[in-house]
A and B are shown apart, each in its own frame.
Chain A
Amino acid sequence: MLQTETKPKHYQKVIRADRWARRLITFGGYGIIASIVAILLFLAYQSLPLAKNAAIKTLFTFPASQGPSKALLTGIDPFQEIFYILDEAGHVQFYQTAGTKPLSEAQLPLSGNEKILAAAKGSLSSELFAAGTDSGRIITAEVRFQLDYSESGRAVIPSLSVKEIWKIPAAGKAASSNAASSDTLPDHVEKLAFSQNEDGSRFYAWVDHQGALWVRSYDAEEEVDYLHPLSQYLGESSVTALTISNHGENLVAAAANGIMRWFDLKDLEKAALRDEWSISNGPASALSYLLGDQAVAIGTAAGAVEVWFPVRTPSNLMKFRQIHSFRSHSAAVAQIYHSSRNRDFLTIDAEGAAQLHYSTTGKTEVQFPRPEFSIAAGAFAPKSDGILLVDAQKRFTLFRLDNPHPESTVKALFGKVWYEGYPGPEFVWQSTGGSDEFESKLSLIPLIFGTLKGTLYALLFSVPIALLAAIYVSQFAPFRLSRIVKPTVEIMAALPSVVIGFLAGLYFSPLFEQYLMSTFVFLILLPLIFLAGVAAWRAVPESYRMKIRPGFEVLFIIPVILIALQASASLGHPVENFLFRGNFQQWLYTTWGITYETRNSFVVGFALGFAVIPIIFTVSEDALSNVPKSLTSASLALGASRWQTVRRVVIPAASGGIFAAIMLGLGRAVGETMIVLMATGNTPIIDFNPFNGFRAMSACIAVEIPEAPVGGTLYRVLFLTALLLFVFTFVLNTLSSLVGERLRKKYARF
């Protein structure tokens, strides 16, 4: 205490400055650690939600028992504020999710005690539905949610508008075996499927009380109806379920004997049977086309849940095949609803158990809590962020569905997945497609393969060259030469990769294509001419040879290369004529079925060499030079030749460093972006053929992340790709550093 008081004032200032400097610098030091950790954590944090399972949370339950009639259909607005229930009596009741009383009511125009028997929604973008009654009428109506902005904020105002009322053809007209017995019954619409396409054309499929299946295609442009009786295809068995695809082009009908039939409705004037197949787990009790209009979710009376879609057979026919099966229900599946955003679908069985599945991955994501009563109707919220269930007592439960990345399971990212339209399970990367209904294919395997393929070719080319050069420079080259070489190699390392990529794409690849044969001839000729040169060298009398100074080797090798270049340039064409009928690329295609791409893996391997050679050279040259002089001197003194010393003493001693160098080079090749982006065609294929390109992880990130919606699945998958790159290169580099350190310690005692 006393001491500080006696010290002069400026000394206190010095002390304070010292303290502040210490704090600041320590802060800077910790900052760097923090930033490394931050990068790793942030990448992980961004890609972690991919692994998250779907979760539901009960937002609201509400006893809405108004009247005894059964609910048939339900739906909710995009903001999840208002929902509606359509019941048997044609009442449409609107409720507020925040309130307890019905908000308002509307009524479908039913006559007397007419009852609705079946109802179906028919649009992905609006709450359009069709209802079939027991007096043979099909009423098409739409629930609208209008937004109104006022002082108090946004309000959603629901309304009901009837679009069309249509009477089905009278009973008895359909040729049916039991027509006489049921003639007394009024016309019924027993089962109904409905869809409206983007032109406004509408498709209805229904089963009447006689079990006859009908399709009505309404052409909105021409305002014409086409009626197609389909009973002749059905045989004896009755129809148990129907579904029409979202754009109205396909109808799938299930029969009680387990036979499924696929009808093509594309041509409005026709309804043609395209495929017939049978399912094994009992007859289908519920059907639904999923988003994308390819896959059909099938729920059977035995409770099985399956997804089928058409696959092209070798004879070029489209045949439905079972692709996925999901966790089954304990009772017959009664209803299936599909999401209008992704390939989620909801199955509800007769006992009220509900499950959420995702078609692409074949995963059952959520099992809903079992309700007291059976479920009468369900619906996805328009943004697929909620699910509404209405039970037999007209009580509803709204669940928040938290399922942002259903398409990215471990299996989908790293395994084979059978995508819609593909002949079998495959590794596919195709992140975006033409429409919102596109099924994104996010297998990282083609990208990882691409990266490894590029790296392999790069290392095949650059490792021998770089190591030879390093051995020469460290062991044999005169000082004058190595003094020039080292900065030159450093400049090679500093060449911007965009320049190398540009040259590879626009200069090397056309050149390589032009001199393709010459390149191969060169690869064969070079060793031959080299051997010839060495033989000639040995023929020189020893007395002359002894006078040659070190460094002469370079002067010797330059003419060898030049001769080989010249010879192969002029020989390339004759060889191509002789061996491949004048056109190597044609020959490749006809003989091996290999198509030649201008920007191919050879070019990438060569171009990546510019990036990799300097690294391998510098690090291994260091390691080779640092082999203690005492070791080499001892070897030479014992009579070993220069090369024997290098081969038996220097290289083994420096092998760790050489390994480290190759690891570093590997890391560089794996992470290089611009070169692979510019020098390959960037097609994500899995193919070892060196004459075509690939898509590397790094290039894929660079191309796709600017367009990826923030927080979306693609965005996160690309973050995961970046994380993989980070971890991979970090591990490689750590490995090489550790090896290098051990090496230094090992030879420190010499």
Chain B
Amino acid sequence: MERRISYFKQKGDSYIFAASLGLVISLGMVAWIIFVILSRGLSFFWPGDTVLVKLHNDSAYLGEIWESKTVYRLDAEGDEHEEEQFQMKIGNRDLYGRDFIWLNRADVAQESSPPDAVTIERREYGKFFGFIRAVQIGEERFEQPGAVLFEKAREAHRQATATRGRIKDTQKKLNKLMQPLANLQREITLLQLSPEAKTEKGRQKLAELQKEAESREQSIADGYGILNQELERLTLQNRSIILTMATAEGAEKEIYFSEIVRFFRPNTMSGLAKAWLYAGKLWEFVADEPRESNTEGGVFPAIFGTVVMVLLMSIAVVPFGVMAAIYLNEYARQGAMIRFIRLSVNNLAGVPSIVFGVFGLGFFIYAVGGSIDQFFFSDKLPEPTFGTGGILWASFTLALLTLPVVVVATEEGLLAVPRANKEGALALGATRWQMIRKVVLPNALPGILTGLILAISRGAGEVAPLMITGVVKLAPTLAIDGSFPFLHLDRKFMHLGFHIYDVGFQSPNVEAAKPMVYTTALLLIVIVVLLNLVAIYFRNRLRKKYRGSTF
């Protein structure tokens, strides 16, 4: 008898182990992906130590060591050899033509970390690794090596940065001055190109416009001259603040200080100094514009675009979704029809996002947007205003996409409201609307919030439908800015998710862009996961309440 029990206990144990295998693999996959993104995304901004590597063949490289691997190579006799290789980021794209190099460990003659090695982040051509040779500020030139030179370089950089700021201001003023004239000239060219210019009336109008343009040109001539002179002077001034660098092999390279974002000597920096720099770069990442076709700098426009798009989407989806849910639950007569509708709404959640994108493109952009253009912006045609992808249409498309999420979550919230409460309200003489407003909605709020948060998280992470409804690689202007009417619904925008796709797959220098993509992916994941955790928290609270309120 005892034997049989043990037999039963034993039987199938290995299957239970096998079942746990599935769980461990799934969790392992999540852990892996999070680990990869975290480690790569966070390490990118840490100022790495620079290493000077001298090879047996006398070539020398200065840079950061990124990766290493073992390769197997067959020699002439067919014997196999293991080779240790490591990847160095050597920067200096304008000199070497590439940022990365793979070296054989066996070829290295000498490896050192020189304290005076300088890492420069430039506005163009990426990083520069080298040693400071000389600093020139106007007529003055400093060459004696040592700490003084580095300090001089710092001073020169401060000067150049200040001048750069003034150049930008002057340019802005110039643009502002020129704007009305430019607008007028655009009107003239358009008129010249149109068939209207051939008619008498058109000719007259053209002459008038040209006359106006001339008088306006004269009126701003003085201001223009002064500003232009100032601009020239400042530019010249900045051209005379020069940093002369030497590469690992001794070649000299002159760099304008105004082209430098920042520079530092990583090998002499303390952990604290590095942390400070790290924080600064992290801030730059979140708050700055992208540079170098999105592979450097920040992602602020993408964050901004994502946020504005998601907000517009929420404004569109929440009232509609909540209304639909209330209708299904409180107003509609429950029957086969409502069951079918509920089923369809649920199934809408499973429809591929790209299908919504196609619908958005065909319906919102071409059908609705095209008509809006014809009625309200016909003077700008054939250049489309709303008849092309833009933030409004992208938000509407995503609103449609996230509608089922909001409806389902709201319904769950509505169901959590005890029937007794509702009936009690009605029995006391409340109208249906009063009952909904005073009893149902307050109690269903967590459900609505859950729906909203899940919708936002879905909207923030979705890319495919946005790709065809208005997201672009680089938007020159933000959707909200200081010029009237402040919120520009027709503008194209940048998006974090699309940024990942674009930089990772469409950029000319994928290898150099990769770290940036990891960081962006990390940012996106953090946003989405946080939103989801909040939603899960709300939902759990709601469920508890639901469980406790059955009477």
Chain A interfacial positions (CB closer than 8 Å to B): 14-15, 17-18, 21-22, 24-33, 35-36, 38-39, 42-43, 46, 149-151, 154, 464-473, 475-477, 485, 487-492, 494-503, 505-507, 514, 530-531, 533-534, 537-538, 542, 546, 553-554, 556-558, 560-561, 573, 577, 582, 609-610, 613, 617, 639-644, 646-647, 664, 667-668, 670-674, 677-678, 698, 701-702, 705-706, 710, 718-719, 722, 725-726, 729-730, 732-734, 737-738
From B21-29, B52-60, B246-254, B413-421, the one touching the partner chain is B21-29
> B76 at interface (Cβ–Cβ under 8 A)?
no
Contacts of A469 in B (CB 8 A): 19, 22-23, 25-26
In the complex, chain B residues 365-403 whose Cβ is within 8 Å of any chain A Cβ: 366, 400, 403
Question: B431 to A14, Cβ gap below 8 A?
Answer: yes
Contacts of B350 in A (CB 8 A): 664, 667-668, 671, 729-730, 732-733
In the complex, chain B residues 99-144 whose Cβ is within 8 Å of any chain A Cβ: none
How close is A550's CB to chain B, nearest CB, in angstroms? 9
Q: Find B355's partner among A26, A31, A726, A733 (CB 8 Å cutoff).
A: A726
List 29 contacting pairs A-B, 8 Å CB cutoff, sorted by A: A25-B331, A29-B326, A39-B355, A46-B362, A149-B198, A149-B199, A470-B22, A473-B23, A487-B533, A491-B30, A492-B26, A492-B29, A492-B30, A495-B525, A496-B497, A506-B514, A534-B13, A537-B17, A557-B17, A558-B24, A668-B350, A673-B353, A701-B357, A701-B468, A706-B468, A722-B358, A729-B355, A730-B347, A733-B351
Q: Find B467's partner among A33, A507, A706, A730 (CB 8 Å cutoff).
A: A706
> CB-CB contacts of B208-244 with A at 8 A, as 1s and 0s?
0000000000000000000000000000000000000
18 more A-B residue pairs beyond the given contacts A499-B500, A506-B514, A726-B355, with a C-beta to C-beta distance below 8 A: A14-B434, A32-B324, A39-B355, A39-B359, A491-B30, A495-B33, A496-B497, A498-B461, A498-B463, A498-B501, A503-B37, A553-B17, A553-B19, A558-B24, A671-B351, A702-B467, A705-B468, A733-B351
Give Cα A43 to B517, complex, Å. 35
Give Cα A27 to B323, complex, Å. 8
Question: A647 to B21, Cβ gap below 8 A?
Answer: no
Q: Find B23's partner among A33, A554, A577, A647 (CB 8 Å cutoff).
A: A554
Contacts of A582 in B (CB 8 A): 72, 74, 80
* List of 3 A-B pairs having minimum Cβ-Cβ separation, nearest first: A643-B12, A671-B352, A468-B22
Give Cα A30 to B321, complex, Å. 11
Question: A471 to B19, Cβ gap below 8 A?
Answer: yes
Contacts of A27 in B (CB 8 A): 323
Question: A609 to B21, Cβ gap below 8 A?
Answer: no
Q: Find A610's partner among B33, B195, B199 (CB 8 Å cutoff).
A: B33
Contacts of B432 in A (CB 8 A): 18, 21-22
Question: B346 to A733, Cβ gap below 8 A?
Answer: yes
How close is A172's CB to chain B, nearest CB, in angstroms? 57
Q: Find B13's partner among A35, A475, A643, A726 (CB 8 Å cutoff).
A: A643
Q: Find B19's partner among A472, A644, A725 (CB 8 Å cutoff).
A: A472
How close is A712's CB to chain B, nearest CB, in angstroms? 12
Question: A698 to B464, Cβ gap below 8 A?
Answer: yes
Question: B323 to A491, Cβ gap below 8 A?
Answer: no
Q: Find A502's partner among B331, B461, B521 (CB 8 Å cutoff).
A: B521
> CB-CB contacts of B401-441 with A at 8 A, as 1s and 0s?
00100010000000000000000000000011110110000
Question: A466 to B12, Cβ gap below 8 A?
Answer: no
How close is B108's CB to chain A, nearest CB, in angstroms? 23
What band does the interface of chain B fall in when counting residues whose beta carbon is under 8 Å from A? 35 or more
Question: B504 to A641, Cβ gap below 8 A?
Answer: no
> B550 at interface (Cβ–Cβ under 8 A)?
no
Q: Find A710's partner among B8, B326, B366 (CB 8 Å cutoff).
A: B366
Instruction: List the A residue with the shortest CB-CB distance to B343.
Output: A737
Q: Find A718's partner among B16, B322, B346, B358 (CB 8 Å cutoff).
A: B358
Question: B22 to A673, Cβ gap below 8 A?
Answer: no
Give Cα A640 to B514, complex, Å. 55
In the complex, chain B residues 497-536 whose Cβ is within 8 Å of any chain A Cβ: 497-498, 500-501, 504-505, 510, 514, 517, 521, 524-525, 528-529, 532-533, 536
Contacts A42-B359, A465-B26 given; indicate if A17 touches B501 (C-beta within 8 A). no
Contacts of A734 in B (CB 8 A): 343, 347
Instruction: List the A residue with the shortest CB-CB distance to B362.
Output: A46
Instruction: List the A residue with the shortest CB-CB distance to B72.
Output: A573
Contacts of B347 in A (CB 8 A): 729-730, 733-734, 737
Question: B21 to A468, Cβ gap below 8 A?
Answer: yes
Question: A643 to B16, Cβ gap below 8 A?
Answer: yes
> B460 at interface (Cβ–Cβ under 8 A)?
yes
Contacts of B321 in A (CB 8 A): 32
Contacts of A577 in B (CB 8 A): 80
Give Cα A565 to B27, complex, Å. 16
Contacts of B351 in A (CB 8 A): 39, 671, 725-726, 729-730, 733
Question: A506 to B517, Cβ gap below 8 A?
Answer: yes
Question: B199 to A151, Cβ gap below 8 A?
Answer: yes
Contacts A557-B20, A698-B352 given; indicate if A29 touches B521 (C-beta within 8 A). no
Q: Find A722's partner among B355, B461, B498, B529 (CB 8 Å cutoff).
A: B355
Contacts of A610 in B (CB 8 A): 29, 33
> B275 at interface (Cβ–Cβ under 8 A)?
no
In the complex, chain B residues 8-52 whose Cβ is within 8 Å of any chain A Cβ: 8-30, 33, 36-37
Question: B326 to A472, Cβ gap below 8 A?
Answer: no
How close is B464's CB to chain A, nearest CB, in angstroms? 4
Give Cα A647 to B18, complex, Å. 13
Question: B532 to A17, Cβ gap below 8 A?
Answer: no
Question: A641 to B461, Cβ gap below 8 A?
Answer: no
Question: B407 to A472, Cβ gap below 8 A?
Answer: no
Interface centre among B14, B72, B403 (most CB of A within 10 A): B14
Give Cα A643 to B345, complex, Å. 38
Question: B352 to A29, Cβ gap below 8 A?
Answer: no
Contacts of A501 in B (CB 8 A): 501
> B462 at interface (Cβ–Cβ under 8 A)?
yes
Contacts of A30 in B (CB 8 A): 327
Q: Find A613's partner among B29, B353, B357, B434 (CB 8 Å cutoff).
A: B29
Give Cα A501 to B13, complex, Å. 37
Q: Find A24's partner among B36, B195, B323 (CB 8 Å cutoff).
A: B323
> B177 at interface (Cβ–Cβ under 8 A)?
no
How close is A138's CB to chain B, nearest CB, in angstroms? 39
Give Cα A28 to B432, complex, Å. 16
Question: B8 to A641, Cβ gap below 8 A?
Answer: yes
Contacts of A542 in B (CB 8 A): 6, 9
> B328 at interface (Cβ–Cβ under 8 A)?
yes
Question: B357 to A725, Cβ gap below 8 A?
Answer: no
> B546 at interface (Cβ–Cβ under 8 A)?
no
Question: B352 to A476, Cβ gap below 8 A?
Answer: no
Instruction: List the B residue with the shortest CB-CB distance to A30.
Output: B327
Question: B16 to A476, Cβ gap below 8 A?
Answer: yes
> B341 at interface (Cβ–Cβ under 8 A)?
yes
Q: Find A36's partner among B74, B345, B431 (CB 8 Å cutoff).
A: B345
Question: B363 to A21, Cβ gap below 8 A?
Answer: no
Q: Find A534's partner among B17, B322, B434, B464 (CB 8 Å cutoff).
A: B17
Give Cα A22 to B10, complex, Å. 63
Contacts of B357 in A (CB 8 A): 701-702, 705
Give Cα A491 to B14, complex, Å. 29
Give Cα A470 to B25, complex, Å. 12
Question: A497 to B345, Cβ gap below 8 A?
Answer: no
Question: A29 to B323, Cβ gap below 8 A?
Answer: yes
Q: Find A537's partner among B13, B358, B361, B458 (CB 8 Å cutoff).
A: B13
Question: B74 to A507, Cβ gap below 8 A?
Answer: no
Contacts of B199 in A (CB 8 A): 149-151
Give Cα A560 to B356, complex, Å. 44
Contacts of B348 in A (CB 8 A): 36
Interface centre among B10, B352, B356 (most CB of A within 10 A): B352
Question: B324 to A31, Cβ gap below 8 A?
Answer: yes
Give Cα A737 to B319, complex, Å. 26
Question: B327 to A496, Cβ gap below 8 A?
Answer: no
Give Cα A150 to B8, complex, Å. 99
Give Cα A469 to B24, complex, Å. 8
Give Cα A496 to B33, complex, Å. 12
Question: B24 to A561, Cβ gap below 8 A?
Answer: yes
